[in-house]
Structure 1
Amino acid sequence: MPESEDHRVAELVPFDIVRSENSEQQQVELTDAQKSQRNSAGTLDIQNTKAWRQAEIPSANGQGNAGGLAKLYSLIVPEDNSLKLLKDDTVNQMTTMQIEGRDLVLAVQVRWGVGFILNKHKIIYGPVEGAFGHSGYGGSCAFGDPENKIGVSYVMNRMLDNFNADGRSIELINATYDCL
C-alpha cells in the first residue's frame, strides 16, 4: 500500500468475544501452517505498522475496505454483462473445483477453485451453492454470488483470533439475503 494512503487505514484492535447465536468460539490447536503465519502476523502490534502495511505478503496483509471488495466481486458476476471485469472462461476456472479437503492453514474442509474458496453446503457465503470468494484472518470475508449477481463483503478492524467465519459475518450475510 502506498504511504500516501496510510492515513485511510483503521488500526486493528482485539475483539472482546461477545457470543451471538451463530458464533462458535472454541479453543482449537493451531496447525503448523497456522503457526507459521502467526510468526509473521501474530500480533496486532506488527500488523499496525507502516512497514507491515507496505509489505507485499500474498494471502497475509491485503488492505482494502468492504465497499471496494464487494464492488470487485460484483464486477466478476455483474447483472449487466457490459460491466463484466473478467472473461467467462476465467470465471469458470475460478469457480470450478480444483481440490477439496482439509486446508492446512484454515484447518477446515474447503473446496478450492483457482484462487477462490467455493461455497460448501451453502453456509460459508450464503445460501447459494455457486457463490465463491475468500475469507480472512479475524472473520473477514468477501464473495460473489453469480445467481443473484451480487458482491458481498465484511471487513473489520476489531479482530477475532481465528481464520474462520464468525457470528458477525454470518449474521450480516444472512441479513443481506433476507433483503433480496
Structure 2
Amino acid sequence: MLCDPAFRPVVEAFREGIGAGGAALAITAGGRIVVDVWHGTRDEAGTLPWERDTVVNVFSVSKSLVTTLAHVLVRRGLLDLDAPVSAYWPAFRTRTTVADLLAHRAGLPALRDPMPEGSAYDWDAMTAALAAEPPWWEPGTRHGYHAVTFGWLVGEVLRRATGTSVRDLVTAELGPDLHIGLPAHAERRAASVLPPEGSAGVAPAPGPVALRAFTNPADLLVPGAINTPAARRAQIPAVNGHATARALAALHGGLADLLGSDVLARATAPRSDGPDEVLGGRTRFGLGYMLPNEVRPFAPNPRAFGHTGAGGSLAFADPDLGIGLGYVTNRVLITPAGPDPRWTPLLEALYR
C-alpha cells in the first residue's frame, strides 16, 4: 500500500467509511500515484481479502472509459463529433450527431418494447433495436441520462469507426486493469458485488422513460446475475466495466496527455446542463464525461469531470488540483440522489 503523508487524512476517512465488504482508493497528483490503498473483503462470505490486483464492476464509471475511447479517436481524426451517427452506422434511424449521443441528448435512453431474456448479453440484438427505436424527444433539444443504452450506442459508433470491438479498444488503448467485458483469465481477481443493505434516500416514482431505461432489458436485475460469468464477460459498456482504483486514477489523472488540451477542453465543456428527462433532477454532462451536478455532486469544483457508478464507485479528474481519483467498492449502497456517504468524508479531507 502507498500513502503520501500529505494524504493521510484522506486515507483515514476512506478506511472509516468502508463498512461491510471491501473497497480501494487511489489518487494521482502531478502524474504520480500518491495514494493506493485497499481494505476489507472481496467475496460474499467475507473471507477473501481485497488484494492489490482485485478488480470489481464499477457500473456507470464504465461510461468514462467509453467516453475516453471516443475522444482518443477524435484526436486521431477517426471520429467526427459533429457528423450524423448514420455516417458511421447507416441503419441508425434517429437524426442526431455523435456529440448528441455522448451528451445524452439523442433521445434514446430506453427501448419501449420489452426485450427478450438474454438481450443484454447480445450486442447485435441491442444495437439493432436501438438503431430502429424512435427517439423519446427531438434530439439535441433536451437531455436525459442514457443509463444503459449509452454503451451500446456510443460503442457501436466506435466499433464501426475502427472495426474493433469496445472490449478490444479498451484493452489496446486504456491500459491494464481496465475492462469492458472481463477476460476469463481475470475472473479469479474479481470481487463479488454485494447486494444493498439499505437505502440512503428515497427514489422518486419513476416515469415511463426512467422505468424502461433501468429495466429493459431486465437481465441484470435478476438477483445474483451481476456476478455470473455471462454478465462479467458480456459487452455492456455503460455498466459492466471492471477496474482497479489504481487504473481509474491513473487514467483520469493522465487524460490531458492522452487526449491533448484542445480535445479535452471540448470533451469537458458543459454540453447538457439542466433538468434531466430520465433522472428528474438537474444534471450536467460534457461530451460523455459527467460533471458535478445536483443529482451526483461528486466534487466541489465544477470543473472536475469523470463519472459516478451505481453502488458507490467513482472516478474523476480535477484539473485545478492536478489530481485523478479512483474509488471502487463491492458493497452496493442505494443513493438515488446526492453523494455516496462513503465519498463525503474522504472528499472533505481531500479538498480541506
TM-score of the aligned structures, taking structure 2 as reference length: 0.43
Q: Is the 8 A contact 1:93 1:114 kept in 2?
A: yes
Judge which range, 129-138 or 99-108, deviates more.
99-108
Structure 2 partner of 1:157:
330
- Partners of 1:64 and 1:142 in 2: how far apart? 11
Gaps of 5+ in 1: 19-23, 78-83
Structure 2 partner of 1:126:
299
> What's the secondary structure of 2:243's corresponding residue?
coil
Judge which range, 9-18 or 146-155, deviates more.
9-18
Q: Pick from 255, 270, 277 the counterpart of residue 76 of structure 1.
A: 255
> What's the secondary structure of 1:91's corresponding residue?
helix
Structure 2 partner of 1:33:
210
Structure with greater contact order relative to length (CA < 8 Å, sep ≥ 6):
2
- Which residue identity is paired with 1:112? F
Cα deviation code 1:115-145 (max 9, x no counterpart): 1011247x72322121011111112221100
Kindly tell me the number of residue pairs found equivalent between the two proteins.
Answer: 166
- Partners of 1:33 and 1:27 in 2: how far apart? 11
Compared with structure 1, are the counterparts of its residues 103 and 65 closer, same or farther at alpha carbon in structure 2 (3 Å cutoff)? farther
> What's the secondary structure of 1:155's corresponding residue?
strand
- Which residue identity is paired with 2:269? T
Q: Is the 8 A contact 2:201 2:336 kept in 1?
A: no
Structure 1 position 112, deviation (Å) = 1.0
Structure 2 partner of 1:5:
186
- Which residue identity is paired with 1:135? T
- Which residue identity is paired with 1:14? P
Gaps of 5+ in 2: 1-181
Asked if 1:60 corresponds to 2:244, the answer is no
Structure 2 partner of 1:110:
283
Give the alignment's Cα RMSD to 1 decimal: 2.3
> What's the secondary structure of 1:37's corresponding residue?
helix
Compared with structure 1, are the counterparts of its residues 108 and 63 closer, same or farther at alpha carbon in structure 2 (3 Å cutoff)? farther
Asked if 1:175 corresponds to 2:349, the answer is yes
Asked if 1:16 corresponds to 2:204, the answer is no
- Partners of 1:174 and 1:43 in 2: how far apart? 36
Q: Percent identity?
A: 33
> What's the secondary structure of 2:188's corresponding residue?
helix
- Which residue identity is paired with 1:173? L
- Partners of 1:162 and 1:17 in 2: how far apart? 9
Cα deviation code 1:4-39 (max 9, x no counterpart): 011111001123248xxxxx5224323433544342
Compared with structure 1, are the counterparts of its residues 171 and 43 closer, same or farther at alpha carbon in structure 2 (3 Å cutoff)? farther
Structure 2 partner of 1:21:
none
Q: Is the 8 A contact 1:33 1:105 kept in 2?
A: yes
Q: Is the 8 A contact 1:140 1:154 kept in 2?
A: yes
- Partners of 1:149 and 1:135 in 2: how far apart? 19
Q: Pick from 290, 313, 321 the counterpart of residue 148 of structure 1.
A: 321
Q: Is the 8 A contact 1:112 1:118 kept in 2?
A: yes
Structure 2 partner of 1:85:
258
Q: Is the 8 A contact 1:138 1:163 kept in 2?
A: no
Judge which range, 154-163 or 131-140, deviates more.
154-163
Compared with structure 1, are the counterparts of its residues 44 and 89 closer, same or farther at alpha carbon in structure 2 (3 Å cutoff)? farther
- Partners of 2:185 and 2:287 in 1: how far apart? 32
- Partners of 1:138 and 1:110 in 2: how far apart? 18
- Which residue identity is paired with 1:160? L
- Partners of 2:275 and 2:220 in 1: how far apart? 22
TM-score of the aligned structures, taking structure 1 as reference length: 0.80
- Partners of 2:330 and 2:292 in 1: how far apart? 24
